[in-house]
Each structure stands twice: as C-alpha cells, then as structure tokens.
Structure 1
Amino acid sequence: MVGKAYDCVLNPLGAVRFLFDKEVGSGPIDAHGRDWGVHGLFTRTLFEDGGLSQVPEINSVPLHSIPANSLVRFRGMVQDMFNSEYYIGAYKDGDAWRTTKYSDVAAVPSCSESSMKIWERRPLYCVPVPGENLWVKDAFTPLDAQLPHSPTCSDPITNRKRSRPEEEMDAEDTEMITDVTETAPDNKRSCEGADLNLETKNCHDDPCNLNMPLGEKKLLPCLVKVYDGLDADLKLNDVVEFIGVLTFDPELTVHPGTVGESVDCIHGSFLDEDISAQLPASRVPRLHSILHRKLSSDQLFQAMPMNTLGQLYPDALSRSSFEELRSSLVARFTEVLGGDGLAAEYLLLHLLSRVHARVEPMAVGKLSLNIVEPRPMKDGSTSFIQMVSHTISTLLPRSHLMSLSLEFLNEKLIAPKKNYSSNRLMTGDLQLADGTHLMLDETVLRSGQLNDIGLQNVHFLKNMMEWQKVEYDFEFYKMEMSTDVAVLVLSAARSRLFPSDVVLPLRPTRGFSSDFPVENLWRWRIYLAAARAGDHTIDPTIQKVLEEELVSARQEDRSLGPEVFHRWLTLARLLSLSYGESTLSLERWNMVREMERRLTERLRVC
C-alpha cells in the first residue's frame, strides 16, 4: 500500500500543488484559476475526519512556534476590505506548469507573458473580535490542540499510512510523491525573528498602525487573502473564522519607505501601493485563506469544538427547558439587581433584542434600556456597574463597557474614519460586530464642556441607539453603516444625552449580589443565543385583537404615540421568544401590558 501524497495540516501547499499537478495533467489551465478540488479536500480533512483540532489558532499559541507555510486558523472581524490584487498564479517552468497559489511571493523564472497566468485575490484586514469575552476564546482553544511540526526525514510523508482503502493512488499519482514531498516547509523556517511588539501608535498617519479595536494590545491582527471570489459573501464587520496557509517572507518585513536601492523603480512603485508592504509581515501575519465560515451570534455555538459543546445538555432547547432556564435566569438577574424583579424581566428582554427587520429609517426589534439608580448604592456605583458588566460578559459572547467620562468623549472620535494617505479605514470604538452588547456608564460623566469631538461622539452614540446606524467618515462623504448592537445605559438620573426605548428606575430591596453560579452557565448561554435567534409571527386573529387594544389605549391616553405601540409589540415579541414560543398569545400580550403598567407607575414617582 502506498502512502498519502499530501498532508493537509502539516504541508497544505504540498496538497495544493499535488492537486494542481493532477488537474493540469488532465487539461489546459484555466485563465482565471480554479479550485482543483482543494476546498473539497480540506473540508473533508478538517470537518469530516476531525482534523480541525490539529490546526493551531494564531492567537492561542505563540506565533514564532508555528512553522511558516503550515495550516492555521484565525477568528476575527473584517475591519477593512482592500481592492483586489493581482498575482502570478501559475507559470511554466520548462515544460511543466507550477502554481504559486496561497503564497506571498512567486519565484518565477524569466519567461514570456504567455508562459504565466495572472489571477486575483482579495486582501482583508482582520482583527481579533472586538469585545469577545474570555469564555469564547477558551471554547475555541481545544484541549487537544497541537502545534504543527514540519515533516523530517524520520517522518516522511511517503511513510504515512492511509486509513481508508479507497485512497489508493494509481501509478501516475505515485510518481508525484517525490516532487510534493520536496515542497514541504523547511523544518528550520518559521515566523521566528518577527518583531511582535504590539504597542500601537496614536498617530493615524503611521502606515504601520495596527489599528486594533478597543485598545487591544495582547492579540495579533491578520492580513487575510481570499481566493476564487469567496469574499463575495463577506462584508465589513463580519465575524469569520479563516483556515489557511500562514506565510512569512522576509521581503515583507520592511516598510516601503525603508526599501533600499536593491528594489528597482518599477517594483518600488507597485510596492508603495501594496497593502502588504504597508503592513509588514513582522507585525501582521499573512493568512492565505482556503476555507472560511461566518460566525454570527446564532452560529457561534455550532462552530465551537465538540469538547465544549459536550458540556451542553442535549435537551437545552426543549420547551420545558426554555421555561426552566428562563425562570432561573430571571431569578439570577433579580439577585444581581438587588431584588428588583421587574428590572430583571426588562434586562432579559433587552439582552434578547436584535434588529430583525428594517423599515427605513426604523430598526425593528431594537430595545435600548436605561437603568436609573437615583439613590447612592451601598456597594458604590462603580462596583454595581462592574457587577452588571460582569454578568453580561459571562453570558454573552461579545460585550463592551464604555465609561463616558468627559475626557473620553473629548479625546478621539469613536466612529471609523478613512485615512487616504495610507488608504486604510481607521477604526473607532463603535466599529463592532453585529450581536455585540454595549454598556454605557454615564455615572462617571461630570459637568464640563464638550468640545467638537465630544459633540460628534454623543451624536454617534445617539444615532446608534435610535437608528442602529454608525456614521463612517470617508472624508469627502459620510456613509451610514447599519449595525445591530444592543445598548444599555446606566445612570444616576434619567439620561438626557442618550434617550432609550425603556427608562427603568431601579428599586432594590436588598444588597446587590456578585455571586454567579457556574452550574447553569452553558445552558443559559445557549438559551440566550437560541431565544435571540428565534423566529416569531403574529397570528391574524391575535393581530386584530391587538389593533383594537391599541385604538382603545389611544382613546384613553392621547399622549401615546407610534413609538409606544412599537415598543409594546417589540416587548411582546421578545417575551414570547423568551418562553420558546414562535407566535404571540394573549397571555404574553397581557403580561407585557402589566409590565408596562408597573413601569409607568414607577416613572410617575421617579
């Protein structure tokens, strides 16, 4: 029996070239490049045969310990998207065609243009997911993950046995083994020597600014290059897990401003425009993506390694479990909020809210919440706020606490802005992935003067809360980008800067609890994700009853406007989903009306 001619994990480029050689032997080269079965092979190896656990994640292991040209993973947010770049994808070496796909630099011999194929790929600048909580990072780091090591003479590819008889190769395949083995990465060559100092500079004009979100300094960004038009389903701020080839070429470790006389004028002119040159490989790893999968909030748990999902109860999404989990979670929120059961109910519905439709300019489904504590708290405002923040970060995949001090608001813009000198989008604190929870601490805001930057930042936050849009500044024009970020405002008095959908004066009856039991954590997490992603409809018969009630309520109180009716319908939808129900019932509608009645009474005496 003959050994495998490739190893997708230890020598991915060898596998790619093996499939390329096999394809070229059966016909002419496609001028635009083809897959040659690469995606199918890597999908089977990683997801069907369990190979994914052997692939290291860039930010889970030291980068210098990963050999260059090995297979790696990177989970991040698409922060910037660049124009497609052209590269020499295949060239003729004597009578044989070679491919440089999934590589940075092509060592192409002198040949005519007819002896090479120019293809294109799309560079994406990806950063660690802003606000991603520690339990998610831990869940995506399998306990059995191993660092790859380059094949050596004592462990040749040709000596590895296949586990399935149907993988036997014919004589033509066997002849290719020697050539493929020679393409294995050099055992001594890795990303060693790369300068991994991640201290970022404040100046946005620095072309090497890592542009990290929310001041992140411990994790690495990544320049991901996507092939075969697979970037068509990706957009700005998507959370994606990329699986591909990690490359490290010394020629890309310097900035074009330091390139010496060894680079000719023509090469230098292209280098100045090359985003790869602006972001040296010594600071930004290169990943040539072979596979990727989007990780929206409702897809996150399915993408976690099986050893993590095994902690979840198999009946976590049954109807009875939904009610049980809801009851226990509301009880936990009640403890956190000092015994205020009404506040616990509103907090749960707030955490389940999401934008499920847009009727311009409205974002249907959002539910911003302002929790007000007018009296001094025994534990102090800071500890209470940290307690609520800790509770949310323990349950939700992505969250961020923003302290709205006067210094913070006046210091820098929190919305992204395009820098045309470096041709990059400079990030801001509001460039967040959909499904992120944002908590605004207004208790630290003291009297003072907002400068122009502060006024703009207040405008950005109000725009996000009201319309779920963030204004990106492209210098010559501004563009509103849709987002889906639930916003919770904590304040000592009703916020005048940031009007919320629901204003809730807190009425604690006992001390605030910081204890958070761990036995139900995973069940609560999967419950929140499932309830948030659920579909919901209103039966026509119920809809008629609701219309009559809304007309009656309007006759009794002329101050009720469309925004109140919209809030009631949103609350009714979220309440139904919190019980695992896909349709609205009169029981849930009456529960919402009772919650709103109690809230109105509380606001009258606030």
Structure 2
Amino acid sequence: MVGKAYDCVANPLGAVRFLFDKVTGQGPIDGHSSDWGVHPLFSKTVLEDGALSQVPEINAGPLDTIPIHSLVRFRGMVQDMFNVDYYVGAYKDGDVWRTTKYSDVAVVPPCSEANMRIWDRRPLYCVPVPGENLWVKNAFNLRDSQIPVSPANGDASMNQKRAREEFRMNIEDMDTDLLETNEGPAENKRSCRGATTSNGEAKSPSLEPHDLNIPLGEKNLVPCVVKIYDGLDADLKLNDIVEFFGVLTFDPELTRHHAFMGEILDGVQEAFLDEDISSQLPASKVPRLHSIFHRKLSRDNLFRAMPRNAPECIDLDAFNRSSFAELRTSLVARLTEIFGGDGLAAEYLLLHLLSRVHARVEPMAVGKLSLNIVESSASREGVFLPATMVSQAIAALLPRSHLMPLSLEFLNEKPIAPRKNYSSNRLVTGDLQLAEGTHLMLDETALKSGQLTEIGLQNVQFLKNLMEWQKVEYDFEFYKMEMPADVPVLVLSTARSRLFPADVVLPLRPTLNFSSNLSPDLVAKWRTYLGAARAGDHTIDPSIQKILEEDLVTARQEDRSIGPEVFHRWLTMARLLSVSYGESTLSLERWQMVRELERRLAERLRVC
C-alpha cells in the first residue's frame, strides 16, 4: 500500500506544493491566488482526523524547540490590522510553475512580469489573549503537541537554533557600514520578491519589549504576525479571538534581503515597495505565521473548541434543567462562603458573571449588569474582603479576567484606551483593548487621596463610558472612534463609588470568615455551566408580558423614584436569572424572584 505523498504537519509546504503541482499539471494557473484544496485538506487533517495533538502551539513552550516551516498553532487576539501585502505567489522555472505561497522569501531564477503571478495577503498583528486565565491555557496546551527532537533530526534542529541566535546577534550589532556594502546576488539566482517592503527587519532597529504591545503588562509571551491568504480575513475584526493554523517561518534572509534590496530588486518588484508595517517588526521577537486556516473562538464556542481530553470539555448539549439547577445551587453556596455567608451578594455576583451585551439600542447596551460591591460597614475588626480573593475566584471560573488596581499612579501613568501612533503607523494598545467576554474588576480600595492629572481624568472617563455604555474610545489623533465592547465590570470599594456608577450597588454583609477556596471537584463543571448559561437564548412569552407591564405600573405608582433605568435592570436580571436555571423563557416564578432580590437589596441600602 502506498502512503501519502505529503505530511501536512511536519512538511506543510510540501503538501501545498503537491496540491499546486496537481492543479498546474492540468493547465495554466489563474492570475489570482486560489486554494487548490489546501484549506479543506488541512482543516480535515487537524480537526477531524486527530492531528491536532501533533501541532505545537507557539506560546506553549520555547519557540526555539519548534522546527521552522512546520505546522503550528497560535491562539490570540487580533490587536492591529495592517495594509494588504503584495508578494510573488507563483513563478515559472523553465517550463514548470512553482509557488511561494505561505512563505516569506524564495530564491528563484531571474524572473519577469510575464513569468510571475502577483498575489496579495493580509498581515494581522496578533497577541496572546489578554487576561486569559491559566486553566484555559492548560486546556489548549496539548502536551504531546511539542515536536520532539529525534536523533535523526537533532543536528538540523541545533543548526536552526544556532542560526536563530546568530541572527539575533547580527540584528543587534548591524551598523551602517554593513548596510552600505555591495553584496550581489548569487550567480544565476536572486531573491525574487513581489511584496511591499515585506519582512525586511533591518530597516528599523530592534524594538524594545514594550513596543511589542504585549497586553496588560504580561511577560514571556510571544506575539505573532499572522498573514491571511485568499480573503479569509473577511470574517475577522479587531479584538477577535482566533486560533490560527499555519506555517511558522523564521528566515535570516528577510533581514539580509531588505538590507541590500537596492542591489537586488528589479523594476517590477520596486513598484510594490510601499510601507509594510509588519516588515519593521524583528522576526527574532515576532515570528511569522502564514495561516492556512483558522477558527474564531467566541465566548459561545470556546468550550466546544477545547481538546477533547481537557477537563472543561463537557458536552454542552448534555446539560438539562436539572443539571443546571444543581450546579447553580452548588455555585451559589460556594460564592456565599467566599462572601462570608452573604447569600444576597452571591446571587448578584452570579447574575453579574452571566451578563453579556446581547443587543444595542443606541446608546444603551442591552444585557449589561455592572456591579459595585461596597464593604465599608462590612468590615469586622478591621478585616476587609481582599480584592485579590474575589479576583482569584472569578479567574478560576471565567476564561478571561483582569484585576485593575485603581491607584493614582496607575491612572496617571498612561492612557488605558488604544491610540494610533502615526510615526510607526501602529495601534498602541491599552488596558481596555480587551476581547468580548473579558471580566474586568476595578479595585477602588487602592485609590488614595491625591490629584488626577489630565491623563488620569481621561482614564476615569474611559472606564465610566465602558461601564455605562460598553464602549471604548480609540484615539486616531485626527478623530476618535467609539468601539463597542462587551466587558462586564465589577467595582470593589469601601464606599459607594462616585467615580464609577454601577447598575447595582450592593453593600456587603458578611457573617462568617471570608473563604477563598473553590472545590476542585466541581470547578470544571461550574466553568462549563457558566459558559452554557451565557450562551443560552431567552425570550419573554406574550402571556407573561402583560403581567410584567402591570407590575411595573404598580411599582411606579408606589414609588415615583423608580425610573426607566430600574425597569431595564429588572428585565435584565429576569433574563439572567432564567438562563441561570437553564430556562429559555421567562416565568412568573423567576420574575417574582427578581422582585424579591431587589426588595432585599433596597432594605439593605436604606440602612447603609
């Protein structure tokens, strides 16, 4: 029996060329880039035929351990989108057509416009998912996916590693004398590039670590320039979380090529030498991934995309109302212990964790439920609930979360909203450039008396707009643009927050010691329960809609201070309470539960 003529994992470029040769053998190639069956082949091999465990993830281990030109994975957030990059996608070598698709640089015979095909690709600057919690990283990190170095290929791997180290040293030590030397192309061969200034790192000096735009100050994480082919970027937008599968490249020729491009390039190639921002990022710090296919990891399909051996990979379809109710009861009981026996706080925190923006009626973001937990009178013998304790509990339950200490130093240091830097033509990230579903906790207990600078006042306004309207203002220097967000915000303060008015203000009333431990036996089920509940649909049956309207009218007659914002909050809570029980329609029982929760909260606020 004859085996495969290609290996999609170890030699993806070989598989691409095999399919290309198969197509070009049937006739002349088209002037535009086409698929040749590459996308379905790799997608089926990786996701359906069990090869996922063999594909290493860029941030799961040292980058030097991954062979170049192998198939890799990168799970990250689209932080910036660059201009289209033009490149020589195919050229004629004698009577045979060859392709350079999914590659950076190819050494080819002297070529002319008639014997080339100029195609385009879209570079994206992607960073590891901001605020992604450790249990998600572990779930996607398949231990057997790191390709081992066998004795047969050990020397080659060491040579690759040595070449990378030497490349880094050359980049850092390169001076202008080297750039002015006249080094011609190899005899009868030259580097034929049909791109913009694609991938020529030597033109600009190595960037400092902070210039790599790693989010939230996280360290030891590798960003990536992902190049998308065949228009597959059409469904991607800024701040999307995506898992890319493609070819990892690391080619020292990128720098050498760019350094001597004036001696090498012909007129056709020079026509494409425009600004290519991705080429200014050093490959020694920002690897290139030529994406063959990708899948978006939205909040609703994250658990379905997890490897099957992950503890959190539970069949969402197996959840029923009974299992929802059981998990809800156990989770509320655990949250009650975390809050020192305050069951009301546990109920509101659960609804807050389930909240999401499911519609927009400008300027309102329908579905959000921000929460302000106040513990000024909750202290017993001077002991307060630590913000880190609440943050750690949330991090153990949600895929993405971030604790932001609101000290004067933090607020005054730098803008927390993204802004465009036109000198580098890049989007400079901020702490509020987050993917949808990322939980943000503001620790106002860290705020001491002092003066906010202009930057500090601006940052406070950014946070207020996020809480109230679920929008973040991006500064493009010549204009500002409000980008929609979906980031639940929890404020912990020692008095009712005046800076950040929340939808719900909850004074904490503990009766026991605060507890920080979560049951390891149930935490994986709680995570999946929260994911399934957030993804649940919900409607209001016409039969109960009239009852709600009458109840709201009665409430308004009894208390004239009740306005539309209160009605909106009650309806939001009713929806969240229903999905927390696994119910898709609002029942009278759940509506009455909301009214009871609000009654208890009102009583607590009156004695504050």
Q: Given the alignment, which residue of 380, 399, 404 partners 2:406?
A: 404
Matched residue, 2:423: 421
Q: Offset at 1:552?
A: 1.2
Q: Which amino acid aligns with 2:160?
A: R
Question: Are positions 1:57 and 2:57 aligned together?
Answer: yes
In structure 2, the partner of 1:173 is none
Match of 1:373 among 356, 372, 375: 375
**Could you give the per-residue CA deviations for residues 139-170 of structure 1, whole angstroms, max 9, x where no partner exists?**
0112332316699699xxxxxxxxxxxxxxxx
Give yes or no for the alignment of 1:437 onto 2:439: yes
- The answer to which of 533-542 and 272-281 deviates more is 272-281
Contact 2:164 2:284 in 1 (8 A): no
* Aligned residue identity for 1:189: Q
Q: 2:82 and 2:587 mapped to 1: Cα distance? A: 49
For the residue of structure 2 that corresponds to 1:402, the secondary structure is strand
Q: Does 1:8 align with 2:8?
A: yes
When residues 57 and 562 of structure 1 are mapped into structure 2, their CA distance, relative to the original with a 3 A threshold, is: same
Q: Is the 8 A contact 2:544 2:587 kept in 1?
A: yes
**Matched letter for residue 288 of structure 1:** H
Query: 1:113-149 CA deviation, whole Å, 9 max, x = no partner?
Result: 1110000000000000000000000001123323166
Structure 1 contact 10–148 (Cα < 8 Å) conserved = no
Q: Deviations over 1:74-101 (max 9, x none)?
A: 0000000011111000000000000000
CA 1:571/1:187 → structure 2, altered by over 3 Å: closer, same or farther?
Answer: same
Tell me, in whole angstroms, the C-alpha distance in 1 between the residues paired with 2:358 and 2:26.
49
- Range moving further from structure 2, 28-37 or 229-238: 28-37
After superposing the two structures, state which structure 1 stretch, 273-282 or 473-482, moved more.
273-282
Which residue of structure 2 lines up, in the alignment, with residue 189 of structure 1? 160
2:114 is matched with 114
Matched with 1:600 is 602
* Matched residue, 2:577: 575
Query: How many angstroms does 1:600 deviate by?
Result: 0.6
Alpha-carbon distance in 2 for matches of 1:310, 1:434: 20
SS in 2 for 1:90: strand
Post-superposition shift, 1:217? 1.5
1:81 maps to amino acid:
M
1:226 to 228, 237, 241: 228
SS at match of 1:117: strand
Alignment partner for residue 494 of structure 2, among 492, 495, 500? 492
Match of 1:48 in 2: 48
Q: 1:356 to 1:152 in 2, by over 3 A?
A: same
Distance 1:240 1:377 in 2: 43
What residue is the counterpart of 2:503 in the other structure? Answer: 501
Residues 378 and 509 in structure 2, CA contact (< 8 A), matched pair in contact too: no
2:206–2:281 Cα contact (<8 Å) kept = no
Pairing 1:68-87 to 2, within 5 Å after superposition: 68-87=68-87
Which residue in 2 is equivalent to 1:517?
Answer: 519
Structure 2 vs 1, CA of residues 187 and 20 (structure 1 numbering), >3 Å: closer, same or farther? farther
The Cα shift of 1:2 comes to: 2.4
Residues of 2 paired with 1:135 and 1:373: CA distance?
Answer: 30
Distance 1:324 1:599, change over 3 A: same
Question: Secondary structure, in 3 states, of the residue corresponding to 1:602?
Answer: helix
Describe the SS at the equivalent of 1:574.
helix
**Offset of residue 291 of structure 1:** 1.0
Shift of 1:49: 1.1
**Partner Cα separation in structure 2 for residue 30 and residue 381 of structure 1:** 72
Name the residue aligned to 2:564: 562
1:332–1:153 Cα change, 3 Å: closer
Aligned mate of 1:319, from 318, 321, 337: 321
- Report the Cα distance in structure 1 between the residues aligned to 2:528 and 2:212, rounded to whole angstroms: 34
- Give the drift of 1:110: 1.5
Contact 2:93 2:109 in 1 (8 A): yes
Structure 1: runs of 5 or more not aligned: 155-184, 197-204
Q: 1:342 aligns with which of 331, 335, 344?
A: 344
Contact 2:536 2:579 in 1 (8 A): yes
The one-character-per-residue Cα deviations of 1:335-378 (angstroms, maximum 9, x if unpaired) are 00010000100000000000000011100000000000013635
Amino acid at match of 2:103: S
Shift of 1:465: 0.4
Structure 2 unpaired stretches of 5+: 170-204
Correspondence for 2:124: 124
Verify the 8 A CA contact 1:316 1:526 in the aligned structure 2.
Answer: no
Instruction: Give the match for residue 385 of structure 1.
Output: 387
C-alpha displacement at 1:289, in angstroms?
Answer: 0.2
**460-469 or 208-217, which deviates more:** 208-217
Does the 8 Å contact 2:104/2:249 carry over to 1? yes
Deviates more, 1:33-42 or 1:271-280: 271-280
Measure, in 1, the Cα distance between the counterparts of 2:261 and 2:12. 33
| 1:451-480 deviation per Cα after TM superposition (whole angstroms, max 9, x unaligned) | 100010000000000000000000000000
Indicate the larger mover: 48-57 or 106-115.
106-115
Q: 1:153 to 1:541 in 2, by over 3 A?
A: closer
CA distance in structure 2 between the partners assigned to 1:70 and 1:243 by the alignment: 10
Which residue does the alignment assign to 1:174? none
Distance 1:71 1:311, change over 3 A: closer
Instruction: Tell me the SS of whatever aligns to 2:572.
Output: helix
In 1: Cα distance, 2:504 partner to 2:293 partner: 43
More divergent stretch after superposition (581-590 vs 260-269): 260-269
Q: Is the 8 A contact 1:131 1:398 kept in 2?
A: yes
Aligned counterparts of 2:262 and 2:25: Cα–Cα separation in 1 = 42
> CA 1:118/1:263 → structure 2, altered by over 3 Å: closer, same or farther?
closer
Deviations, residues 469-509 of structure 1 (Å, cap 9, x unaligned): 00000000000000100000000000000000000000001
Q: Is the 8 A contact 2:420 2:428 kept in 1?
A: yes
**C-alpha separation between the residues in 2 aligned to 1:125 and 1:545?**
51
Please give the secondary structure, in 2, of the residue aligned with 1:321: helix
Q: How many residues align?
A: 567
Q: Is the 8 A contact 1:10 1:149 kept in 2?
A: no
Residue 167 of structure 1 aligns with which residue?
none
Instruction: Report whether the alignment pairs 1:308 with 2:310.
Output: yes
Aligned to 2:356: 354
The separation in 1 between residues aligned to 2:295 and 2:262, in whole angstroms, is 43
1:114-153 equivalent positions in 2, closer than 5 A: 114-147=114-147
Q: How far apart, CA to CA, are the structure 2 residues paired with 1:602 and 1:113?
A: 77
The 8 Å contact of residues 316 and 527 in structure 1, kept in 2 or not, is answered as no
Aligned-partner SS, 1:462: helix
Q: Which residue of 2 aligns with 1:551?
A: 553
Equivalents in 2 of 1:117, 1:238: separation in Å? 31
Label 1:510 to 1:401 Cα distance change in 2 as closer, same or farther (>3 A): same
Tell me the amino acid that sits aligned with residue 368 of structure 1.
Answer: S
CA distance in 2 between counterparts of 1:73 and 1:39 reads 15
- Once residues 289 and 472 of structure 1 are traced to their aligned partners in structure 2, the CA distance between those partners, rounded to angstroms, is 28
SS of residue matched to 2:124: strand
**8 Å CA contact retained: 2:324, 2:580:** yes
Residue 193 (structure 2) aligns with = none
Report the RMSD for the aligned CA atoms in angstroms: 2.5
Code of the aligned partner of 1:141:
N
CA distance in 1, matches of 2:583, 2:314: 21
Q: Which amino acid in structure 1 is aligned with residue 539 of structure 2?
A: T
User: What's the TM-score, normalizing by structure 2?
Assistant: 0.89
Q: Is the 8 A contact 1:316 1:523 kept in 2?
A: no
**Letter in structure 1 aligned against 2:164:** E
Q: Shift of the alpha carbon at 1:263?
A: 6.9
The whole-number CA distance in structure 1 between the counterparts of 2:230 and 2:222 is 26
Give secondary structure in 2 for the equivalent of 1:144: helix
| Distance in 1 of aligned mates of 2:266 and 2:471 | 44
Structure 2 CA distance, aligned partners of 1:123 and 1:151? Answer: 36
Contact 2:86/2:118 (8 A) holds in 1: yes
- 2:455 is the counterpart of 1:483: no
1:271 to partner: Cα distance: 6.3
**8 Å contact kept, 1:65–1:192:** no
Amino acid at match of 1:302: R
Indicate if the aligned counterparts of 2:303 and 2:314 stay in contact, CA closer than 8 A: no
Q: Name the amino acid aligned to 1:394.
A: A
Amino acid at match of 2:243: E
